[in-house]
A and B are shown apart, each in its own frame.
Chain A
């Protein structure tokens, strides 16, 4: 079998925010003809930079320095002439990016955008049909904003397969899409491979997504490959502690609800220390002295075999395979979380949140046509007992975020009413980065919340220090600005802001969907602990059924502005009543229970 792409010793350093850092540190990789290769890693692992380097499209504004080679056909994408690289991109490569909304030109009809690659409208129409777009002729002349997310990603796929490429690079093609659409796009990628005979590099942060369609999986960590092998092997017999950690911290529909979620250890090593030895050593429960000083090479996982086979499983770790796999079978039990206050006990008292007959209608002003009305909420009745945790699940456009915003008083109720008991509600948003004022320090942000209490300076400082400590942040962060914090730290600050004066009701709008799996798990742990320690009612909005089941005593399923199902969390997941809940459940990517 021939290789369609060969990456040798690839090193890339980029300048970000004025600091040059090594993003890829020696990648060796071959993409075989006709295979789907999953590239898995958390944000910052370098997987997207690898994709850009393979296309020869590293952003010049980041002043890239590149070493090594990327061979596609006869062309070296690192050192080739610009016109050679363009020829390869035209003839050999197809690309699907993360967000089809921003990746398609908004002012150009989609047909014309496909034509740019095919130079033939008849061929473009044929491709649109091939990627599963019904009524291709009708859709040919629309603009991207007139299509749904799934259709847009199919347009991207049609562009990608134009010109019969030998390799399609798909960079997080499903991340910006709803779960039901996600499953369709993954199916589409597999069909494209089968029908057009091309190889696919599927880049994703979610091991389960890769596991669904990839033949081989490469796990990346800090700019290097940690482990690479057939999907079955990686999922069921991982040999690198990081892969093991990823698999164990992944949330599934079977994750025990009454225990703390497993998380990877937080990073404690400095950037320089990480570069010296194995980059994972400070987080690795199995690290030995050697791990901190010497970088492990990528070597066959099967001990004693040296020959190269097509199903080779390679790993970069100093510890032996049996040590790592021995650890896998250890200590699956996690400590239980503090018992949540029983929600049944307070039935007699007034509910914390009482919503009756709530509708919300937004009027959109059109430039050309008449005003359009969007019915975001169509008659919601919901009662949440004090101390109860309720998860609200739905896809984008279901009205779940609007419901939360109405409860918080951030959006208007058209009819119906919302009653809140006690000390009011506080909200935590999805993107902590943009929900914290960038020019205020963490201390300023928290002081602002404390102002109504009229505490003196010392008491305020004490209160801020205590709250930060309770949430797992050192007191020193109070002098930093949000941009100086990591994504997980920012979300913790947002949580501190919401709980420094404990509200009766904590409203969470997808607080973890922008975070890596392990960080997300730690934030979820934190919210659950805060709920019991501060005696709060929690309303948790998410698109992820596994998260909904873990965070709520009760799960409420929403679609098109109405509640279609509501019940005890496990009951809804195990025995869904409504058609829509079932279709959601069927779309959740699962990798099965880890043995």
Chain B
């Protein structure tokens, strides 16, 4: 098990290096001169040449890559052309908002997914009343769900806000719900949670179905497995059979799907953040792409890629922990 974790961590590091190389190459071959983007269209040729030298753009490509990696390791992601601040600083101010949204949304997705799977597999009464509408909602693209949600809950019913996080993002940790819980401000908790609810649920619907369907089919397979029959023949109660014999054996496919969906959610957050004016990296990215702000794009891509790779490594390790046969 320990060796497996070590190996899996090693391969994650290699993947990260590959990712950084891809980002670097994209940056190098992309059209548009970063120096011009940085200095503006009216800069003099001398100023451009001086800036090129200063940014090290005249050095050979491999040297530029090594410098890129070295800077990365020092936390230096370059300067954003658009905001004229270090990309790292930008990420530090935008990332917490996204993390809060995605993690909340992920928890909602897993809860809905498990409910979907269990109500279906155990044939709970009324389960179809829950699964039907959920399936219907998942058929709509997220932006439509978001707009529909705003029209219904904000414009018509007036129960939920339509944009922002409710408070200034520059709270101590950047996680505003967390901050308001720590500092014990019930009003702020309510307010920030209200803001989180609509974008969080909109983002969660499609992943919930993906997780739920996979989990349901593996639950169904496990419930009819021979060893479940053996467990029943021991005279265990249905709940004990479920808890001791079914859950662990059916969790694998659900875990990998949940990991996959968590990765997708970080990518899907761009649209949702824009619609809800959520001050996260999705919005930041959306602002950076049109002006070819490559350091910013590279920084966000690197963060998203890292999240994706780390999530998948964690899922792999969890799967081996759940099923000892995989470690053999």
Q: Is the CB of B249 within 8 A of A106?
A: yes
- Which of the listed residues B233, B236, B324 has the most CB atoms from chain A within 10 Å of its own CB? B233
Whether A88 pairs with B235 at a CB distance below 8 angstroms is: yes
A368 and B1 form a contact (CB under 8 A) = yes
Name the contact of B326 in the complex, choosing from A87, A156, A367 (C-beta under 8 A).
Answer: A367
CB contacts under 8 Å to A, within B217-258, are 224-227, 229-237, 244-245, 248-249
A104's partner among B1, B230, B320 (CB-CB below 8 A) is B230
Give the contacting residue for B231; candidates A91, A116, A366, A368; CB below 8 A: A116
Assess the B227–A367 pair: CB atoms within 8 A.
Answer: no
Residue of A nearest to B322 (CB): A107
B226 touches A145 (CB 8 A): no
CB of B244 within 8 A of CB of A55, answer: no
Q: Assess whether A99 is in contact with B224, with CB atoms less than 8 Å apart.
A: no
Interface bin, chain A: 20 to 34
Residues of A within 8 A of B1 (CB): 368
Number of A-B residue pairs with CB-CB distance less than 8 Å in the complex they form: 86
A159 touches B234 (CB 8 A): yes
* B199, chain A: closest CB distance, angstroms: 37
Contact of A117 among B225, B234, B327 (CB under 8 A): B234
- In the complex, are the beta carbons of A116 and B324 less than 8 A apart? no
B264 at the interface (CB under 8 A from A): no
The answer to whether residues A367 and B226 also contact, given A55-B233, A86-B235 and a CB cut-off of 8 A, is: no
Is A367 within 8 A of B320, CB to CB? yes
**A108 with B322: CB separation less than 8 A:** no
A90 with B235: CB separation less than 8 A = yes
Q: Could you say which residues of chain B place their CB within 8 Å of the CB of A143?
A: 324-325
Inside 8 A of B84's CB, which chain A residues have their CB? none
Dominant secondary structure at the B interface: helix
Mask, B33-66, CB within 8 Å of A = 1, is 0000000000000000000000000000000000
Residue of B nearest to A95 (CB): B233
Given B225, B236, B322, B326, which contacts A102 in the complex, CB threshold below 8 Å?
B225
- Asked whether, in the complex, the Cβ of A105 is within 8 Å of the Cβ of B234, the reply is no
Asked if B4 is an interface residue, CB under 8 A from chain A, the answer is yes
Say yes or no: is B3 at the interface (Cβ < 8 Å to chain A). Answer: yes
Query: In the complex where A105-B245, A108-B245 touch, is A87 in contact with B235 (Cβ < 8 A)?
Result: yes
A371 at interface, CB cutoff 8 A:
no
A2 contacts B by Cβ under 8 Å: no
CB contact list, B1-35 vs A, under 8 A: 1, 3-4, 7
Q: Does A61 contact B (CB under 8 A)?
A: yes
Q: How far is the CA of A6 from the CA of B169 in the complex (A)?
A: 74
In the bound complex, CA of A117 to CA of B323 (Å): 22
A451 to B210, CA, bound (A): 42
Determine if B248 and A107 form an interchain contact, defined as CB atoms under 8 angstroms apart: yes
Q: Any chain B CB within 8 A of the CB of A103? A: yes
Q: Which residues of A contact B320 (CB under 8 A)?
A: 367-368
**Other-chain contact of B227, A59, A85, A105, A145 (Cβ < 8 Å):** A105
* B251 nearest CB neighbor, chain A only: A107
* Interface presence of A198 (CB below 8 A): no
Interface: B328 (CB within 8 A): yes
Write out the residue numbers on chain A whose beta carbons fall within 8 Å of the beta carbon of B4.
Answer: 367-368
| A140 interface contact, C-beta 8 A | no
> Are A97 and B3 touching (Cβ within 8 A)?
no
Output the nearest chain A residue to B225 by Cβ-Cβ distance.
Answer: A102
**Are B229 and A57 within 8 A (Cβ)?**
yes
- B328 and A104 contacting across the interface, CB-CB below 8 Å: no
* A interface residues (Cβ-Cβ under 8 A, vs B): 55, 57, 59, 61, 85-91, 93, 95, 97, 99, 102-108, 116-117, 143, 145-146, 156, 159, 366-369
7 A–B contacts from the bound complex (CB under 8 Å):
A106-B227, A106-B324, A146-B328, A366-B328, A368-B1, A368-B320, A369-B328
Nearest 4 pairs of A and B residues by beta carbon: A90-B235, A89-B235, A368-B4, A102-B226
